[in-house]
Structure 1
Amino acid sequence: MATALAGDARIDTELRSKIVDGDMGRKRKFTRGLTPPLALPLRGEGSSAPPSLHGKGVGGLGFSNSPTASCHSPEPKLTLRIIQLCLFALLAFGLVCACSGSLSQDSVSTGSQLSESVKAAPHDGDSPKTQERLESSCRMVKHALGETCVPAHPQRVVALVSNAVVNLLSLGVQPIGAVSNVPSFVLDKLKDVEILGYSEQVNLEKILLLKPDLILAQKWNAEPVYDKLSKIAPTVITDFRIGEWKEALALHAEALGMTDKAKQLMAQYDERIERFKAQMGERLKQTSVSLIGVYPEGIFIFFQNSFGGTILQDIGLPRPPAQVRDKSRLIGERISKELMRYGDGDVILAWSYSDTLATVRSARENLNRLKSDPLWLKLDAVEQGRVYQVEDHWTIGSPLTANLVLDDLFKYLIEERSKM
């Protein structure tokens, strides 16, 4: 029984994330109050009632707060004193009113000037020069979900898919945030990087806190939240199969402004391919190479559309007939033990892999059990002692992992052969 393995390894999960609204400003209302002028409780005109002299009264000036108080008195000295004090109070009242009127006018003038200054202030979006500056500081990059203007030289990059992580490392760029489902050797290179969980679980809040200036993701995991990601930072989306690692590298490099660096890396890759072919000589066309991956779910054989398969194809190494699917976009297929013969070849390269730490042990245990299985022991490559266990860098494409794959091929097909 065989089960097909899709090239993008897509997993349907519900992404439940929400961006925190960045507009946390509160409107504040500012008021300016004025102290009312001093008011003396004067009695109405024509009153003849004498003022009360009991207590200090208003302002401690010897006046009563009683509404019956008056500024008129039959006593001449007292009357003169009262008149002087009344005149003083009226003068004070006039000064306070004048000051209040002046302050009020100043307040209105200031508010009007502030309003006019806001209207006169240029807005970035309305300024042609500013718009030109913004456009010249970024580059338009076409990707799977449209076209995005990205910074000329991004400095804070978040990678939400494993091939973006290894492509960044290949180009000498350390991401500020990355997913965790990457080959084991890659995790060792991400010790100072914020781990964002698995590709299937995009955490928008964590990404927002990192303040990235570029986000790299895959269509299958980012399309549902693409609009939200784009509000956090310019977002570039790939939609390539695992075997299309060169195309993914080209797009990631373009987004980073590092196309020349990517071309240089691929030129070095091509040089190593030619060197390997030269050293293999006549054996190149005579040595079929089988690729087997042991996962928690079972045993898989890998076709030429897989990452490792594309490298073997670039070299020109033949594959076992069961691992050749010219018109298929599938990268591999699960096989039962009864179909173990599909995994045979002149040489077998086998690895164990799991994209979660919890199941890594399970994959390794499956590989160890396979080594003692009677059907496995009957394979020609096993009987000839040409089975080599490799690491999980065979599972994800990039210049970095491609060179590790070539290291394995040089070691097991050339160096080991020379010892025989």
Structure 2
Amino acid sequence: MKTTKIMMLVLLAAMLAVFTAACGKNNNNGNNASPAASEPAATASASSSPSAPASEPAVATTKTIKDGLDRDVEIPTNPQRIIVLGNYGEIASLGIKPIGTIGYYLDKYGAEKTAGVENVGQDEADLEKVLALKPDLIIIPSYFKPEVLEGLSKIAPTIATKWGLLPLEHLHILAGWLGKEAEEQAWLAQYNEKAAQAKEQLKPFNLEGQKAVVIQFWSKKIYQHATGVFTPLFKDIGFAPTEKEAAVTVTTEISEEAVVDYVADADKLFILVDGQADIDTYNTLKASAWKNIPAVKNDQVYLVNSARWNDYSTAAMEWMLEDLVKIIK
């Protein structure tokens, strides 16, 4: 009996030893888990939290355009300091106030449209004055001499507009270059409204369909122009070009004698004059070589301000509408 009790005590001790060892092993495994064993929990925790926002794509500060000289030019996407040496009218129509321009435009456009704009030279740009204004973009017409273009390009990106395009073509191209498409559409809307109002005011005079011709006195010569230069006259008010007027595609000189035949079938003749000397020239021709021209005999000749009509710009388009209302009424 005593032996049996001893055997049972030994067996119980052995079982306790095994149980203790097993518990120790399990505790060690829990306290020393490998990094790999903890990854799923860490991954789950990371995936349950919001992802870090992706960084915004960088906004381009420059872009490359092909200008009127067929050059690829890198320009600012949002220029702030523009010097305008050509196409001032279109730039103004897009709501842009340049920091500088030549005196020719300052005189033509007047203080209202040029307030605060610096003079960089009367007829040609003074490079030192241009440099002093620190422009980030310069706009010129394509007929500038190569050496002038080169000098300006050393100061700031310089883009040339193609000489010979019509005002609305220049407006559209510049709007695309300068990111001013919305301003272009706004100007077109207000111009169309202005043209409609002018046409309504002139309605009692039955001008639509009447034949008209435009010539210009300039530097003791006479020039004929394509009808596209005078869009307000022909498209907006509704005058019809004569057959000879419609055939003109580029500005060309015409002699005093040739004018007699050129304007023979015109109901109205518009002559661009620049000052009293041109007015005197017309009065002399009116009494002599041109006295038998129908428009002259019928007193249907209108002398208009050359500075306002020969600008070939969107600004000139508005001026023509204003002048037509005044002189016809």
Q: Structure 1 length normalisation: TM-score?
A: 0.55
How many angstroms apart in 1 are the aligned matches of 2:324 and 2:105? 22
Matched, 1:143 2:67: yes
- 2:93 corresponds to: 170
Partners of 2:242 and 2:106 lie apart in 1 by: 26
C-alpha separation in 2, matches of 1:222 and 1:214: 18
Judged with a 3 Å threshold, the aligned counterparts in structure 2 of structure 1 residues 158 and 222 are, in CA distance, closer, same or farther, namely farther
- What is the DSSP-based 3-state SS (H/G/I as helix, E as strand, rest coil) of the residue aligned with 2:143? helix
**Contact between 1:277 and 1:284, CA under 8 Å: does it hold in 2?**
no
Structure 1: where are the runs of 5+ without partners?
A: 1-128, 354-362
Q: CA deviation at 1:402?
A: 1.0
1:398 to 310, 313, 325: 313
TM-aligned CA deviation for residue 221 of structure 1: 0.4
Query: Do the aligned partners of 1:154 and 1:256 also contact (CA within 8 Å) in 2?
Result: yes
Which amino acid in structure 2 is aligned with residue 203 of structure 1?
D
CA distance in 1, matches of 2:110, 2:197: 30
The letter of the residue matching 2:94 is L
- Counterpart for residue 233 of structure 2: 312
Quote how far apart the aligned CAs of 1:257 are: 2.6
Which 4+ residue blocks in structure 1 deviate beyond 6 angstroms?
Answer: none
Distance 2:254 2:104 in 1: 21
Classify the secondary structure of the residue corresponding to 1:232: coil
Structure 1 Cα separation of the partners of residues 239 and 106 of structure 2: 25
Whether 1:409 and 2:321 are equivalent positions in the alignment is no
Contact 2:223–2:251 (8 Å) recurs in 1? no
**Given the alignment, which residue of 310, 315, 322 partners 2:244?**
322
User: In the TM superposition, what whole-angstrom CA distance separates every residue of 1:174-230 from its partner, at most 9, and x where no partner exists?
Assistant: 32221234495414444643333366x443232112211110011220544434423
- Is 1:331 matched up with 2:243? no
SS at match of 1:221: coil
Distance 1:407 1:366, change over 3 A: closer
Q: 1:246 aligns with which of 144, 152, 168?
A: 168
1:7-406 maps to which residues of 2 (within 5 A)?
136-144=60-68, 145-161=70-86, 164-182=87-105, 185-188=108-111, 189-190=113-114, 192-197=116-121, 201-221=124-144, 223-241=146-164, 244-276=166-198, 280=203, 283-305=206-228, 307-308=229-230, 310-315=231-236, 316-325=238-247, 328=249, 330-337=250-257, 339-343=259-263, 345-353=266-274, 364-373=276-285, 374-391=288-305, 392-406=307-321
Residue aligned with 2:188, SS: helix
For residues 143-166 of structure 1, give each alpha carbon's deviation from its aligned partner in whole angstroms, at most 9, with x where no partner exists. Answer: 2232333333322211122xx212
SS of the residue corresponding to residue 366 of structure 1 reads: helix
Q: Aligned pair in 2 of structure 1 residues 219, 185: CA closer, same or farther (>3 Å)?
A: closer
Once residues 265 and 340 of structure 1 are traced to their aligned partners in structure 2, the CA distance between those partners, rounded to angstroms, is 39
1:276-327 CA distances to partner (integer Å, 9 max, x unpaired)? 556648945531122122112322232314x22x33342342123332226x
Q: For residues 266 and 331 of structure 1, what CA distance do their matches in structure 2 show?
A: 26
| TM-score, length of structure 2 as denominator length | 0.69
8 A Cα contact 1:394 1:401, kept in partner: yes
Alignment check: 8 A CA contact 1:269 1:403 kept: yes
Instruction: Call closer, same or farther: CA 1:311–1:264 in 2, change over 3 Å.
Output: same
Please provide the CA RMSD for this pair. 3.1
For the structure 1 residues 325 and 372, does the alpha-carbon distance in structure 2 shift closer, same or farther, using more than 3 Å as the test? same
d(CA) in 2 for partners of 1:184 and 1:347?
30
State the secondary structure of the residue aligned to 2:299.
Answer: coil
C-alpha separation in 1, matches of 2:259 and 2:269 = 15
CA displacement 1:256-285 (0-9 Å, x = unmatched)? 332211121112223444455566489455
Contact 1:152 1:256 in 2 (8 A): yes
Amino acid at match of 2:227: Q
